[in-house]
Chains A and B, each alone.
Chain A
Amino acid sequence: MGNFATIRGVSYILAAAPDMVLHNGTTQTTERIVNPESEYLGQIEGHLRSYEDVLAYIPNQVYIGNMSNEQLRETAFPYYDKKAAEAKRQGKFGEIMPQDEFYALMQICDVFDLVKLEAAFAQGAKAKLAAGGLLREEQLAILDKNQESGEDIRRLVEEDHAEGLYNGGALVGAVKRAHDVDVNLSAHVMLENLVAKASSVLALLHLLKHTGIDPASVDYVIDCCEEACGDMNQRGGGNFAKAAAEVAGLTGATGSDVRGFCAGPAHALLDAASLVKAGTFKNVIVTAGGCTAKLGMNGKDHVKKGLPILEDCIGGFAVLIGENDGINPIIRTDVVGRHTVGTGSSPQAVIGALVTDALDKADLKLTDVDIFAPELQNPDITKPAGAGDVPEANYKMIGALGVKRGDLQRAELADFVAKHGLVGWAPTQGHIPSGVPYLGACREDILSKKIRRAMVIGKGSLFLGRMTNLFDGVSFLVEENPGGEAGSETTAGSNAAASGSAAVSETAVRTLIGEAMRDFAKTLLSE
């Protein structure tokens, strides 16, 4: 027991993708096939936001760490008609990249010469991307290879099965197909996968920058997005993880992909924490890029209600899991909730398996968990689409189960939601909202002793793959580091090490050192 893995750092990125909403979001591409003359398709362009508006959108500023969840809570709902006082591209966790630079990044991430950019566009995007300072000179030089004219690009799209890349309505590039027959290597799939890869790379680069970790010291990378890469003989052959690690310069890493729909990140984090705790690897990164298909997913409802298209960004994140340093928050891999094959599908059974069964193992009450981080979808997006406020619904269910268990009184339910919950801010990119968007703030809140314990809950709708009707989910606790490598002695509920007085005094010393270092980390954070 003890010696739990720690959360060393977290990054979050968004890439504004207004033209991709039109050309790559499945709601729009399906509508174009089924109902090409539809009123929606005629209206949608008028509902796309500018890059400046994407920056000024408060939930986006919360995502990259420039604003807090408290600030979002203080913002009167809805959010789409409000603007952040300071709309910045860079945040302490990452950035919001404009679409033109993201296309350039896609080309830098493409090692099969599939991405073509119009020459002048590429040079413009290169200059902007260079200013960000994230990419190496030789990576930026890849953009110099573009010789194509606008006419060349048009020909690729119209005559050679390529998918167009558009910026401000103009065709500026294309993604070619990687095979003439294999649908898994079609231009559509290659574009989708290159977007996932590039957004994962962007998250990795920010994580490296923010943590300052030597890239060569990363041992293993786990990708947990929802895409699949492979050819017709192995559709989900995989390893987005290693592909992204290569571009991010993680020369000492291998990796693999973990999938589980929206619960993927929670599964991947458990895997990473277990690999580190077991001593298999010292430094593991969990990463995920975003998804073009989900752009504008609820666009019809947003347009019908006069809202802008709010699903206009590709999302991504990366989390560095490292050995116990006595300072950073630990992942309690001994207090894990699981929705098993036999759990059943009623909400009560699901929440019980994911939340209260796990807490029971640690002899904890619901109210012992300061913050719950279930699916954190932005209600600005989901409410107008009739899906309600997802995080709030989760908190109500958790609280109601607490009432049934006697952890709290029924009258305390509303208070429980406000006190132990968060207001949703995550883009609806499937796997992105699932608990993980809180990890960055969670790490800081624990380091600054604002909270002691949080629970991350990932949930996934497996039926979408038509292989099972089962629901899925896993959860785990993130806790204040009790200090010292042995870790668990002062942690509620875990097996206290009973290895003699010498071990105890060593632990006491480690605890003192740990506390001193934590205070030091706190002063660094406050700067």
Chain B
Amino acid sequence: MDLENQRRVKELSEQYGAENVVVLLGAAEGEASGLAAETVTLGDPTYAGPLAGVSLKLSVYHICEPEVKAEIDEAVYDEQISMMEMVLDVDDICGEMNAIREQL
């Protein structure tokens, strides 16, 4: 995850409390989604950014995961996301996301 984004995630969770923050990802494939999810839960695996060694344990989902889809107005989801849902390997993304959440 981009170092600037790591800093912003860290600041927002300090400001609002980690329990009040949900991170929503839009990465294009599983590996990148998993890395981003790991960064905001267990800490930056590359040890390069502000979240290196910082385990925020934030709630994190990918926009294409069914849990998120269920929360969003169907018409809005259709207009904004459904095309990418067709393009992305959603099963792979969900698998990577679940694997990270299982480690928490």
Give residues in A with beta carbon < 8 Å to B.
344, 346-349, 351, 386, 388, 393, 396-397, 400-401, 403-404, 410, 413
Contacts and interface: CB of A to CB of B under 8 A. Distances in A.
Contact of A400 (B31, B79, B80, B87): B87
A511 B43 CA distance: 67
B11 to A, nearest CB: 18
A463 to B, nearest CB: 11
Contact of A413 (B28, B31, B81, B86): B86
B83 A404 contact: yes
A393 B87 contact: yes
B44 to A, nearest CB: 16
B65 interface: no
Interface in B15-31: 28-29, 31
How big is the B interface, by class? 10 to 19
A386 B32 contact: yes
Nearest to B32: A386
A39 B86 CA distance: 41
A388 B29 contact: yes
Given A386-B31, A388-B28, A388-B29, A410 B80 contact: no
A346 B64 CA distance: 13
Contacts of A388: 28-29
Given A346-B81, A348-B79, A348-B80, A400 B86 contact: yes
B83 A397 contact: yes
Q: By CB atoms of chain A within 10 A, which of B29, B32, B80, B86 has the most?
A: B86
Contacts of B83: 347-348, 351, 397, 400-401, 404
A470 to B, nearest CB: 17
Contact of A396 (B31, B32, B82, B87): B87
Contacts of B86: 396, 400, 403-404, 410, 413
A399 B81 CA distance: 14
8 smallest A-B Cβ distances: which pairs?
Answer: A400-B86, A348-B83, A396-B87, A346-B80, A400-B83, A400-B87, A347-B84, A401-B83
A93 B80 CA distance: 41
Nearest to B82: A404
Contacts of A396: 86-87
A386 B33 CA distance: 12
Interface in B81-104: 81-84, 86-87
A348 B31 contact: no
Nearest to A344: B80
Contacts, number: 37
A474 to B, nearest CB: 20
B28 A348 contact: no
Contacts of B79: 348
Nearest to A352: B83
Given A347-B84, A396-B87, 19 more contacts: A344-B80, A346-B81, A346-B84, A347-B83, A347-B87, A348-B79, A348-B82, A351-B83, A386-B31, A386-B32, A397-B83, A397-B84, A400-B83, A400-B84, A400-B86, A403-B86, A404-B82, A410-B86, A413-B86
Contacts of B28: 388, 393
A444 to B, nearest CB: 31
A348 B81 contact: yes
A119 B83 CA distance: 60
A355 B29 CA distance: 23
A276 B89 CA distance: 45
Contacts of A393: 28, 87
Nearest to A349: B80
Interface in B52-94: 79-84, 86-87
Contacts of B82: 348, 404
Nearest to A346: B80
A347 B83 CA distance: 8
Contacts of A386: 31-32
Contacts of A397: 83-84, 87
13 contacts: A347-B87, A348-B79, A348-B80, A348-B82, A348-B83, A351-B83, A386-B31, A386-B32, A388-B28, A396-B87, A400-B83, A401-B83, A404-B82
